[in-house]
Structure 1
Amino acid sequence: MADAPQIGKRPFLKSDPAPETGEGLSVCPGIGLKHTFDPNTPNLRQELVSGWGPVLAVWEGYSADDEIRLSASSGGAATALSLFCLEQEGNGQVVHTAADPSAPYLNKTVMSRSREDLLRATGSRYAPSSPCEGLTDVLDQPTPSVFVGKPCDVAGAYKARKNRPDLDGKIGITIAFFCAGVPSTAGNLELAKRRGAKSSSSIQSLRYRGNGWPGLWSLVYKKDDGKTEKSEMTYAESWGFLQQYRQWRCYICPDHTGEFADIAVGDPWYRPVQPGEPGKSLIVARTQRGLETIKKAAAAGYIVLETEDPDLLPRSQPNLLETRGALWARLITLKLFGAATPVYSGFGLARFWFSELSLIAKIRSFSGTVKRVFKKGLTKRIEPSES
C-alpha cells in the first residue's frame, strides 16, 4: 500500500508484470460488503440491526488508566481494551495505526506490544492509513493479534479471514472506531500550510485530537529561521476544513460505525461536551466475543462502564440513518451512468431513503451524485500516482 496524495492509500504492484491471483480484489471492502451474522444471536438488539448492524450492548465508559484516558481522543476505550487483550487475554501484539516518525503528516502500520507502545499511538489520525497491510505479519506471530482500524479496515480483515482460515486463527479480536471519512494527504498538507508550515519537511509533529476531549488539532513546525512554532485549532475547525478532502469511496461507504468488528468505539455525541470534561467513549459490543471481552476488561479494572443503553448509539449519531438512505440513491445513480458501483447486502439502504430523507434531500441524493460523476470523472479509470 502506498499513498496517492490527492486520493488516499492505494495498492501498487511491487513488480510489473505481477501475477494476478484475484485474492486482493476478493477481500477489498470497496467492491462490496455483505452481512453474514446470525440473526438469532443471543442478546442481539433487533430494533437496531437494520440501521446499525449487529449490536449486543452499548455503554458509555472510559479507560480506568488516567494517562490513557487523557491522551486518547475521547475516553481511551480502544487503547484500554487493547491493553487488556495484551496483558490478560494472550494476545501478543496490537496491529494498528500511528504517526510516521519520519513524516508526521503520514501514517504507518505498527505492532504495539506494551502499554508504552500503545500510549505513543493514542489519538485519532485523520489521514490515510492501511492497517490491513499488517495482516501478513500477523501470520508470522506465535500469538494472536488484536486488530484495530477504521470500519473499512476491519471489514477488509473480516473478508480476508473468511478466505484464509490460517489468518482467522491469528486474529484474537477486532476493534473498529467510528469514521466519517478519511481526508487525503494533500488536504492535510494544505491545512498545515495555511497554519504556517510552508513545506512538508518543516512539519515536526501533527496531532488531531487527544490531551483533552475532544482535544485540539496541533501542529509543530520549523520556520525559515530554524525556530520551532506551534499552531492549534479546535477539532471542529480542523475537521470543518479537512472533510472537504475526503475521497469518493468515503461518500459511498455503508458502514461508519464498525459493523464488522467485535467491538466498536466512538464519541458519545448525544450531549454537548462540557469544557474541561474528562473524555468518554461510546463502546459497542457487536459479537459475543466482543461482549465477553468488554465485561472481562471492566471486571479486571481496565475500563469503567457507566451507562448501558442501546439507544445511546442512534442518539450519538443522529444523521447516519439519513446518510444510509442517501447512499441508496447514490449507488443507483452510479449504476445508471455506468460508473464503478459497489454491492452491499444486508444494510437496508432503500428503507431509509424513503423514511429518513426529506423531498429536497431525496432529490439532492440523485442530483448531487450526477454532478460528482462528471466532476470527479467517475466513469473513467483512474491511475493513482504516489507523487
Structure 2
Amino acid sequence: MSVNKIRYVVDNNLCVRCGTCVGVCPLNAITLNDRNYPVKNSSCTGCGHCIEVCPGIDVDFPELTMQLFRKRFNINGLLGFFTNAYAGYALDPDIRANASSGGVITQLLIYLLEKKIIDGAIVAVTDPEAPCQSKPIIAKTKDELLQSMQSRYTIIPVNQLFGKIRQMEGKFALVGLPCHIHGFRKLANIDPVIRDRIYLVLGLYCNLNLEQEATLDLQKISRISQKEIKNFEYRGGEWPGAIRITKKNGNTHNLHYSNYKDGAFNYLSRLYYAKRCLYCIDGSSELADISFADPWVQDGNGDWVFKGGWTLIFERTEKGGMLLAEAERDHAIFLKRLYGYSMFKRFINNINKKRKMALVRLSNLKNKNKPAPEYHVDDPTIPVKDRLKEYIFSLTLVFGKYEGVRKIITAIIFSRIGISLTKLRIFLKYRVSNIRLSNRRF
C-alpha cells in the first residue's frame, strides 16, 4: 500500500493532521506541507504502516477500549471509562497563574521529570521562529515544560515526533488531543518500541480545533508585526484568559474586550473550524491514562464554583491514578475529588452535543456514499430533533467556508462595533440566566 493512499485520506477530508504517519514511517518518506497535511515522497516502498496507524480512516473504539480498560465501549457513555474525577490545581503559584486552567498537566510533568519517572514529554510550544504558530517538541527540562503552558487552539502534528522517540532511550509522556491519542494507540499495537517508550498518555478535552489562519488573521487585525511578537495566547492573563499578544518589549495587548469563555473564541470556532473535527466522536480523550479539561461548574446562583485556575481531571487507568496520588502526596498538586455527575454536567452536555452531531454527520456521509471515518460502533437511531439541531448548527458554519467572508466577519468582531455587540450579548446572556435562576428559587 503506497503513500498514494495517504493522498486519498487527505483528498477526502479524512486526515486529522496528527502526524502519526510521519512518526511511523521507517524511511522518513512522508513529510508535512505548510498546512500540516502529509505529502508524497518518492522513497516510499509501500509498506502500508502509515495507513495501518491512521486514526483519520479508522479507530476501533470497542477493541481499544477493551485492550486498555477491559471494559466494553459504550457509545452513550460520553465520558468514557474513568475511576475518579477531580478538580485540582498546581501548588506552584506561578504555574497555576500562568497556565490556562490550573496548571496540573505542567506541574505533573515537572514532578515526574524531577522524580526521574519520565525522561521527557512530547508537548507543544510556541515556535520561536514564528511566534503566532506552535510546534511539538520533546521537552527534557523544566524550562521546556514551562514553555508548553497555555492552550493552543490550532493544528499541531504532535505524533510526527514518534520517529525521534524511537531512536531515544528512556520513558516519555505524551500530551495530546483525542486524535493524537487514537494514533498513538494504533501505533502502539504494531510498534513495541513506541509502546515501551511512551509511558504515560495525558489527554486534553477537545470540542474542535482551529485552522492556523485564525491566528494569522488575528495578528494582521492587531496591526502588530510578527517581528515584534514574542508570544500569541488564546487564554493569556487572569482566568479564564483572553486572546492576547505579548510583544518582545514585554508589553501585552488584548485583542478583544471579553475573556475566552464569553467572547470572541465562540465566533472563531464557527469561522475557522477544522472540518475533520466535525466527524470526531471523542471529546474527552477516552483512551488516555488521565484526561484534563476546564471545570465549567456553576452553583445555584449561576456563579463559577472553580475560579482562579482549576483543572477538571478524569483518572482512567491504574497507572494514571497512582501517579496522581504520588504527586498529591508530595505536594506537587492539589486534588478535590468530585462526586456525582452534576459536578460536571456542563462538560457532559458539551461532549454529548459533540458526539450526537458527529454521528448525524457520519450518517449523512454514509447515506451519500461518501468516505467516512469508521469507529466500529453500531449505527444508532438518530432522532429527528438531533438531525434538526445539527442542521441548524451547520448553518452557523457556512461563512467559514469562504476565506474572504470570514476575514471580513472577523475584522468586524474585533472592531469597536463588534466589541459593543459582544458586550450586549454578554449582558443579555447573564440577565436571562439570572431570571431563570430566580424563577427556580421561587
> Please, what TM-score do these two structures have when normalized by structure 2?
0.73
Cα distance in 1 for partners of 2:215, 2:237 equals: 20
What residue is the counterpart of 1:70 in the other structure? 97
- Flag structure 2 segments of 5+ consecutive residues without an equivalent: 1-18, 20-30, 402-442
Q: Secondary structure at the match of 2:243?
A: strand
What residue is the counterpart of 2:424 in the other structure? none
Matches within 5 A, 1:112-151: 112-151=139-178
**Is 2:361 the counterpart of 1:330?**
yes
What residue is the counterpart of 1:379 in the other structure? none
Alpha carbons of structure 1 residues 78 and 310: separation in structure 2 relative to 1, 3 Å: farther
Q: Which has the higher strand share?
A: 1
What residue is the counterpart of 1:232 in the other structure? 255
Give the root-mean-square deviation of aligned CA atoms: 3.3
Matches within 5 A, 1:11-160: 11-13=38-40, 15-16=41-42, 18-35=44-61, 36-38=64-66, 41=69, 50-160=77-187
What residue is the counterpart of 1:363 in the other structure? 388
Cα distance in 1 for partners of 2:266, 2:222 equals: 15
Q: In terms of mean alpha carbon deviation, does 119-128 or 273-282 score higher?
A: 273-282
Alpha carbons of structure 1 residues 144 and 164: separation in structure 2 relative to 1, 3 Å: same
**Is 2:374 the counterpart of 1:343?**
yes
Return the letter of the residue paired with 2:333: I
Shift of 1:174: 0.5
Which has the higher relative contact order, 1 or 2, with Cα contacts under 8 A spaced 6 or more apart? Answer: 1
Shift of 1:269: 0.6
Percent identity, aligned pairs only, is: 24
Cα distance in 2 for partners of 1:47, 1:65 equals: 38
Alpha carbons of structure 1 residues 275 and 322: separation in structure 2 relative to 1, 3 Å: closer
Q: In terms of mean alpha carbon deviation, does 26-35 or 163-172 score higher?
A: 26-35
The superposition leaves residues 212-242 of structure 1 with CA deviations (integer Å, 9 ceiling, x where unpaired) of: 21112112469xxx99773433214341232
Cα distance in 1 for partners of 2:212, 2:189 equals: 32
What residue is the counterpart of 2:314 in the other structure? 284
Q: Which has the higher helix share?
A: 2
Return the letter of the residue paired with 1:95: I
Structure of greater Rg: 2
Cα distance in 2 for partners of 1:209, 1:248 equals: 23
Alpha carbons of structure 1 residues 276 and 313: separation in structure 2 relative to 1, 3 Å: closer
Q: Is the 8 A contact 2:281 2:359 kept in 1?
A: no
Return the letter of the residue paired with 1:292: M
Q: Is the 8 A contact 1:333 1:370 kept in 2?
A: no
Cα distance in 1 for partners of 2:116, 2:312 equals: 22
Q: In terms of mean alpha carbon deviation, does 286-295 or 261-270 score higher?
A: 286-295
Matches within 5 A, 1:248-287: 248-271=275-298, 277-287=307-317
Shift of 1:50: 2.1
Cα distance in 2 for partners of 1:232, 1:69 equals: 23
Q: How many residues were matched structurally?
A: 362
Return the letter of the residue paired with 1:124: S
